[in-house]
Amino acid sequence: MSHTCHHPYCDRQVPPSMLACYRHWYILPQKMRAAIWREYRSGQENDKRPSVRYLAVQRLACAHWLFKAHDEDAVLEMLPYAVEAMTWQKQAIAEGLGDPLEGLIPEHWPSPKIVVQE
């Protein structure tokens, strides 16, 4: 089965258990990479049932790749990924699973909360 890097603009082939190609993996901050491994469950790439916590961190990684400070177009492009991450985050918290994004959202990012309606 073919599997590509999850970076929105990358089509490099990677093993199904990997989120990203080498280049894009190491663009992510170390604590985000650690969170991805923490939330990864062996075999989720086979049964296609990742946890809501993993989905939150995975979508936040996509937002991170696209964000560029002082670039309005980049911010607008990353916001849907950030909103998806926050939607999964909210579901994880509601299910009593804790906050998968705690400490991962950089302070200098725009707040997707202004986009998400309660």
Q: How far apart are CA 57 and CA 61, in angstroms?
A: 6
Q: How many CB atoms lie within 10 A of CB 8?
A: 13
pTM for the full model?
0.88
**What's the pLDDT tens digit per position in 57-93?**
999 999 999 998 888 898 889 999 999 999 999 999 9
| Enclosing H/E stretch for 86 | helix 72-94
- Using DSSP, state whether 39 is helix, strand or coil: helix
Domain range summary for the chain, segments of one domain joined by +: 22-114
**What's the pLDDT tens digit per position in 10-47?**
999 999 999 999 999 999 999 999 999 999 999 998 89
109, pLDDT greater than 80:
no
Q: What is the pLDDT of residue 50?
A: 95
